[in-house]
Amino acid sequence: MKAASRLPAAARAIVDGDRRVLARTITAVENGDPSADRVVRSLYPRSGRAPVVGLTGPLGVGKSSLVNALVGRLRELGQTVGVIGVDPSSPFTGGSVLGDRIRLERRADDTGVFFRSMASRGAAGGVAAATREVSRLLDAAGFDVILVETVGSGQVDVAIRDIASTSIVVVVPHLGDEVQTLKAGLFEIADIFCVNKVDLPGADLAKRDLAELVTLGGRANGWAPPVVGTSTVEPCGIDELWEDVLAHEKFLDASGERTRGERKRLSSEIVGLARDRVGRELTLRLEKDPALRRLLDEVVARTIDPRSAADRLVTGSRRTR
Amino acid sequence: MAKARASKKTPIRVLIAKPGLDGHDRGAKVVARALRDAGMEVIYAGLRQTPEEIVRAALEEDVDIIGLSILSGAHMALFPRILVLLKEHQAGNIPVFAGGIIPDEDARRLKKAGIRAIFGPGTSLEEIVTTARTLARHPA
């Protein structure tokens, strides 16, 4: 790659395995710190290599324990793993207790694993605004597999779909009857269904309900999500779970779905980034431009309606550009 | 990239960990909760962490400050070890505070070794939060 020699120093360090610089860059990305901008841009061509595996599902189903078990399995297979564990920020104080790390069991000198806890910082959907870019940083840093654990999700927290190449929806026995599995949202994004705590009674019923759901029709792309039972208490199913991930990744390549999905995701990412930027510019304009501030006065006075004012804001900002 | 906190608006990241073998984590949880309520992002590493694990977590999580809780009496062995490991990783600038049952004489020696604040039983949460915030914003 031509640009390789011209990577910014921090990007070079990340590629060369400097975990400290990686950790600091992640902080900068989370904080929207401009110092991360060049690093993020320059490392993009080096991402898109590692499978990004999302684990989502309601709180308490055992996502963190499953992540730990998968990390163990992947290390056995000689794979290196980057993990992002997202937990919610308080809508009241902005504070957060990030506890996903607590389940992680690994040797302190094992450099084949990098674990980062991340607060959602007000983002809806189960991940943080920075999660996607941070998963790319881990990818560029050379980890073979990226695992992303979402916030304990509700029925419509499906943002992981925009980040992960394979999404695992984790449930436990007795979450509800089979009608729950028909409802829109979370269950629609599963590439794999995982019934965790399969050692508990009711597990067979939960598996059967999900298997039945799949027979009603798989994903629109032709993939039929497998249903796998796991337990981390009496360890079982972890190898199978990972095999299913690999099978799905293989399907993505063989069917062309990977490229199709990427195009869709990246298109919405670009539009999202552009929207943010234009939004910021317009906000600034409305605050700073005296003519546009008068416009606001008129809307407050009910002499102009908000839709017309928005028209003027857009055309006005175009004219002055 | 130099460590740069963008502004006062970016949340303080703090690691709360319990080195050693005692299982009394109520104090650590109460402090974690108080720091959360003060708007900080608290990485709760949990019980029975080795000094190596604690330092590793602090570096990966890029925390601004580390809080250690201990009730086992092993603080004179474990705390200095953590400080040494941090220095070995060029992270000696991360402030470390501690809480637990720590005799005054030990506390004096630990402060000399580089533990920035030590909180005994009966310390108010407000004092812990204020000290943690000050240490995080003004390291070294």
Q: How far apart are the first and last CA of chain B?
A: 18
Mean pLDDT, rounded, of chain A: 91
Query: Which residues on B lie below 8 Å from A33 (Cβ)?
Result: 4, 6, 10
A/B interface, count of CB pairs below 8 Å: 94
Across the interface, whether the CB atoms of B61 and A116 are under 8 A apart is answered: yes
Structural element, H or E, at residue B128: helix B125-137
Domain of B17, CATH number, reads 3.40.50.280
Structural element, H or E, at residue B83: helix B75-88
* Final residue of a structural domain among A208, A236, A255: A255
Across the interface, whether the CB atoms of A95 and B39 are under 8 A apart is answered: yes
- Chain A nearest CA to B3, separation (Å): 7
Backbone angles phi, psi at A245, to 5 degrees: -60, -45
pTM summary value: 0.91
- Chain B nearest CA to A144, separation (Å): 18
Residues A163 and B63: their CA atoms lie apart, in Å, by 25
Across the interface, whether the CB atoms of A102 and B46 are under 8 A apart is answered: yes
Residues B110 and B75: their CA atoms lie apart, in Å, by 9
Q: Which of B11, B44, B56 sits opposite A94 (nearest CB)?
A: B11
Whether residues A75 and A195 share a domain: the answer is yes
Across the interface, whether the CB atoms of A108 and B3 are under 8 A apart is answered: no
| DSSP codes, B13-66 | EEEEEEESS----HHHHHHHHHHHHTT-EEEEEEEEE-HHHHHHHHHHTT-SEE
Whether residues A102 and A163 share a domain: the answer is yes
What local confidence, expressed as pLDDT, does residue B8 receive?
A: 67
Answer yes or no: is pLDDT of A319 > 70: no
Across the interface, whether the CB atoms of B44 and A19 are under 8 A apart is answered: no
Whether residues A21 and A58 share a domain: the answer is no
Mean pLDDT, rounded, of chain B: 91
- Chain A nearest CA to B70, separation (Å): 17
Domain membership flag for residue B6: no
Across the interface, whether the CB atoms of B36 and A93 are under 8 A apart is answered: yes
What local confidence, expressed as pLDDT, does residue A320 receive?
A: 43
Report the share of chain A in percent with pLDDT over 70: 96
Query: Which residues on A lie below 8 Å from B13 (Cβ)?
Result: 27
Which structural domain, as residue segments, surrounds residue A7? 1-46
Which structural domain, as residue segments, surrounds residue B58? 13-137
The residue among B125 and A175 whose pLDDT is bigger is: B125
In this predicted model, what pLDDT tens digit does every residue of A111-160 receive, in sequence order? Answer: 999 999 999 998 888 999 999 999 999 999 999 999 999 999 888 888 99
Whether residues A41 and A62 share a domain: the answer is no
Cα–Cα distance list, B95 to A286, B52, B55, B58, B131 (Å): 43, 17, 12, 11, 11
Residue B114: pLDDT band by 50, 70, 90 thresholds?
very high
Whether residues A40 and A62 share a domain: the answer is no
Whether residues A207 and A304 share a domain: the answer is no
Answer yes or no: is pLDDT of A181 > 80: no
Q: Which two tokens stand for residue B90?
A: 């060029």
Report the share of chain B in percent with pLDDT over 70: 94
User: Cα–Cα–Cα angle for B4, A282, A310, nearest 5°?
Assistant: 155
- Chain A nearest CA to B107, separation (Å): 28
Average pLDDT (B104-129) is 95
Cβ-in-10-Å burial (0-12, 13-18, 19+) of B22 comes to: middle
> B10 at the A interface (CB within 8 A)?
yes
Domain membership flag for residue B107: yes
What local confidence, expressed as pLDDT, does residue A166 receive?
A: 97
Interface test with A, best of B53, B60, B64, B86 (most A CBs within 10 A): B60
Whether residues A53 and A73 share a domain: the answer is yes
Across the interface, whether the CB atoms of B41 and A28 are under 8 A apart is answered: no
Whether residues A176 and A291 share a domain: the answer is no
Domain membership flag for residue B24: yes
Average pLDDT (B25-38) is 94
Q: In a 3-state reduction of DSSP, which class is residue B134?
A: helix
Across the interface, whether the CB atoms of A39 and B1 are under 8 A apart is answered: yes
Residues A182 and A265: their CA atoms lie apart, in Å, by 25
> B57 at the A interface (CB within 8 A)?
yes
- Chain B nearest CA to A298, separation (Å): 33
Domain membership flag for residue B73: yes
One-letter amino acid of B117: A
Domain of A202, CATH number, reads 3.40.50.300
Pick from A236, A283, A84, A5: nearest CA to B43 = A84
Residues A165 and A49: their CA atoms lie apart, in Å, by 11
Q: Which of B11, B43, B59 sits opposite A101 (nearest CB)?
A: B43
Pick from A67, A69, A112: nearest CA to A86 = A67
> B44 at the A interface (CB within 8 A)?
yes
Average pLDDT (B48-63) is 94
Residues B99 and B117: their CA atoms lie apart, in Å, by 8
Whether residues A33 and A122 share a domain: the answer is no
Three-class SS of chain A: CHHHHHCCHHHHHHHCCCHHHHHHHHHHHHCCCHHHHHHHHHHHHHCCCCCEEEEECCCCCCHHHHHHHHHHHHHHCCCCEEEEEEECCCCCCCCEEECHHHHCCCCCCCCCEEEEEEECCCCCCCCCCCHHHHHHHHHHCCCCEEEEECCCCCCCCCHHHHCCCEEEEEECCCCCCHHHHHCCCHHHCCCEEEECCCCCCCHHHHHHHHHHHHHCCCCCCCCCCCEEECECCCCECHHHHHHHHHHHHHHHHHHCHHHHHHHHHHHHHHHHHHHHHHHHHHHHHHHHCHHHHHHHHHHHCCCCCHHHHHHHHHHHHHHHC
Pick from B101, B95, B139, B137: nearest CA to B120 = B101
> B59 at the A interface (CB within 8 A)?
yes
Average pLDDT (A38-47) is 96
Whether residues A192 and A283 share a domain: the answer is no
Question: What's the structural domain count of chain A?
Answer: 3
Residues A168 and A161: their CA atoms lie apart, in Å, by 10
Cα–Cα distance list, A173 to A54, A169, A199 (Å): 21, 13, 9
Question: What's the structural domain count of chain B?
Answer: 1
Residues A250 and A205: their CA atoms lie apart, in Å, by 29
Whether residues A39 and A60 share a domain: the answer is no
- Chain B nearest CA to A280, separation (Å): 18
Domain membership flag for residue B48: yes
- Chain B nearest CA to A33, separation (Å): 6
Looking only at the bridges linking them, the beta strands covering A113-119 and B96-100 are unpaired
Q: Which of A93, A94, A108 sits opposite B56 (nearest CB)?
A: A108
Domain membership flag for residue B87: yes
On whether the CB atoms of residues B43 and A101 are closer than 8 A, the answer is: yes
Whether residues A241 and A278 share a domain: the answer is no
